[in-house]
């Protein structure tokens, strides 16, 4: 992606420090960094990026693209052993970021203060246009444990996705975009920051504000006249409890994604934000983030509703292996913004395809008019005596209980049924609901086989830095509570 495609009205602003780069300063900074990188990087190389500063990350990202290399964007919270394992797998030409790079990998320090005001000329970029399938981004999609699973996105895929996002959201809405998400995964980087940058708007960086920051979310929205933001449900669970709503009501649109959005939380966000243009988003790294989304205004708070695809089309893979234009089953996707494949893993790439269709791993219900509702993840399905139950289905019902704050459903082995449904529950402050009461609640609202056989109570649901539940950690804790080993 070339910087020339970014409109000259774009600006990057750090909310915490007040630092700002207008287009001219951003262009100079990218040119200076590209000149440094050319000493160590050739076209087609991979550059590992491990940044804590979002402004520096965006400058270095475009500098990497100026050299014709691909950017492997990593979490700054990686441990030394994780960084070493990823470096051995990816074999980057150099490492930008962390104070200590993995052994044998040249490190280039990101030093914003040294070059932000440089008067260096802007070096022409490697001739890689937006229609090129050359690798632009490599993003990890399955955590940092074990062998990494890296999604390779080409320049063409990124260009198509960003153009689609801007067309769907609109440039006026993207005029002042708040970025509260980390930038090392697709939702934060592509869906939030780059969409606003390529729309020529102000990118207001406020990544990972934490509990203390979210207590002031309404004030931040007012102070910076924010018109758009993207987010995850776990962020809102904290913000709605801690922060007064914004007074100015400048928000034109809010996206919520990366995990299921319960109807009650959806309604609460709308009330707090002062708009029904709160969208339940569906996306994945393999499709360069967003695929579709449905607003409360259009979907009427139907849980899992995500509308129609923005740039491609989808089908349902039935149990008999046939593709259908409607019905219930695994969602398959045809999209011009799909990944090139998984880095260094042709077997995983082949396994992700059904003919020319990408297997999303999500279970959905597709209407005849092309409107989709997400039911759950295939890997989260619980097989109780041959009957498939989506963990997300159980969670959404439990979270409707007035005493329940958060839930996480999962499978536990069972001699008779193969698997049984279990759930971890976080109660609201002051509540003391029992397992029997929650089971009775579920029995009135779920089919019999989906009612949890075991419910454990936790102080919190563990989540990763993307806001997603760490289901395996919950399952291991449940086994420990039951006096057994996983």
pLDDT given at position 1? 66
Cα separation, 403 vs 431, in Å, equals 6
pLDDT given at position 143? 44
- Residue 485 pLDDT class (50, 70, 90 cuts): very low
Give the C-alpha distances (Å, rounded to integers) separating 176 from 59, 171, 195, 223, 468. 19, 10, 11, 11, 26
> By the 8 A CB rule, do 343 and 152 touch?
yes
Whether residue 118 has pLDDT greater than 80: no
Whether residue 146 has pLDDT greater than 60: no
Poorest-confidence range of 2-6, 105-109, 235-239, 464-468?
464-468
> By the 8 A CB rule, do 69 and 93 touch?
yes
Q: In terms of pTM, does the model score above 0.85?
A: no
The two three-digit tokens of residue 483, written as one number: 């006096």
Poorest-confidence range of 68-72, 78-82, 157-161, 435-439?
78-82
Cα separation, 475 vs 281, in Å, equals 27
pLDDT given at position 359? 94
- Residue 372 pLDDT class (50, 70, 90 cuts): very high
117 or 243, which is more confident: 243
Strand partners, 406: 426
What secondary structure does DSSP assign to 319-384, as a single string?
Answer: TTS-EESSEEEEEEEE-TT--SEETT-HHHHHHTEETTEEEEEEEEEE-TTS-EEEEEEGGGEEEE
pLDDT given at position 481? 72
Whether residue 73 has pLDDT greater than 80: yes
pLDDT given at position 144? 38
Whether residue 484 has pLDDT greater than 60: no
pLDDT given at position 125? 57
pLDDT digits (tens, 9 = 90+) for 84-114: 888 889 999 999 987 777 888 888 877 655 5
Whether residue 387 has pLDDT greater than 50: yes
pLDDT given at position 104? 84
pLDDT given at position 145? 42
* C-alpha torsion sign, points 287, 290, 294, 296: positive
Whether residue 115 has pLDDT greater than 60: no
Poorest-confidence range of 130-134, 211-215, 262-266?
130-134
Q: Which residues contact 365 (CB under 8 A, 6 or more apart)?
A: 304, 327, 328, 372, 373, 375
Sheet of 454-457: strand order equals: 404-414, 418-427, 454-457
Please name each of the domains of the chain with its CATH number.
3-279 (3.40.50.12780), 385-481 (3.30.300.30)
pLDDT given at position 47? 96
pLDDT digits (tens, 9 = 90+) for 309-333: 999 999 999 888 889 999 999 999 9
Cα separation, 15 vs 32, in Å, equals 24
Poorest-confidence range of 17-21, 68-72, 144-148?
144-148
Q: What are phi and psi of 106, to 5 degrees?
A: -60, 140
Q: Which residues contact 401 (CB under 8 A, 6 or more apart)?
A: 433, 438, 441
């Amino acid at each position: 992606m070339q910087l020339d495609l970014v409109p000259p009205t774009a600006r990057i602003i750090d909310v915490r420090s007040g630092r700002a780069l207008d287009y001219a300063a951003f262009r100079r900074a990218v040119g200076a960094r590209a000149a440094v990188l050319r000493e160590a990087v050739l076209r087609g190389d991979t550059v590992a990026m491990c940044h804590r500063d979002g402004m520096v990350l965006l400058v270095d990202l475009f500098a990497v693209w100026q050299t014709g290399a691909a950017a492997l964007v990593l979490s700054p919270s990686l441990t030394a052993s994780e960084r070493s394992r990823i470096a051995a797998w990816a074999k980057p030409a150099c490492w930008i970021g962390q104070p200590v790079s993995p052994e044998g990998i040249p490190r280039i320090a990101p030093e914003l203060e040294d070059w932000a005001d440089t008067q260096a000329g802007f070096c022409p970029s490697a001739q890689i246009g937006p229609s090129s399938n050359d690798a632009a981004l490599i993003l990890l999609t399955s955590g940092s444990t074990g062998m990494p699973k890296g999604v390779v996105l080409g320049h063409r895929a990124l260009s198509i996705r960003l153009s689609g996002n801007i067309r769907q959201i609109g440039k006026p809405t993207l005029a002042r975009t708040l970025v509260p998400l980390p930038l090392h995964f697709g939702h934060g980087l592509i869906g939030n920051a780059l969409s606003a940058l390529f729309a020529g708007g102000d990118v207001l960086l406020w990544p990972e504000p934490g509990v203390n920051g979210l207590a002031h979310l309404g004030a931040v929205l007012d102070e910076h006249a924010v018109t758009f933001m993207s987010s995850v449900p776990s962020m809102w669970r904290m913000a709605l409890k801690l922060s007064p709503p914004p007074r100015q009501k400048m928000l034109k649109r809010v996206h919520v994604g990366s995990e299921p959005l319960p109807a009650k939380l959806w309604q609460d966000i709308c009330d707090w934000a002062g708009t029904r243009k709160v969208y339940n988003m569906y996306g994945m790294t393999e499709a360069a983030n967003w695929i579709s989304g449905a607003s409360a205004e259009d979907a009427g708070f139907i849980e899992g509703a995500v509308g129609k695809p923005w740039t491609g089309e989808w089908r349902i893979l039935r149990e008999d292996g046939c593709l259908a234009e409607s019905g219930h089953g695994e969602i398959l996707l045809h999209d011009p913004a799909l990944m090139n494949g998984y880095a260094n893993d042709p077997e995983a790439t082949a396994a992700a395809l059904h003919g020319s269709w990408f297997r999303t791993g999500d279970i959905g219900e597709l209407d005849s008019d092309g409107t989709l509702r997400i039911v759950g993840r295939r890997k989260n399905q619980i097989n109780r005596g041959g009957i498939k139950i989506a963990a997300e289905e159980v969670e959404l019902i439990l979270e409707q209980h007035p005493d329940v704050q958060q839930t996480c459903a999962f499978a536990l082995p069972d001699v008779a049924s193969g698997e049984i449904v279990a759930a971890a529950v976080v109660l609201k402050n002051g509540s003391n609901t029992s397992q029997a009461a929650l089971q009775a609640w579920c029995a009135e609202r779920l089919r019999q086989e989906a009612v949890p056989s075991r419910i454990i109570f936790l102080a919190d649901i563990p989540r990763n830095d993307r806001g997603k539940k760490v289901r395996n950690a919950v399952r291991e804790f449940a086994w420990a509570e039951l006096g057994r080993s996983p």
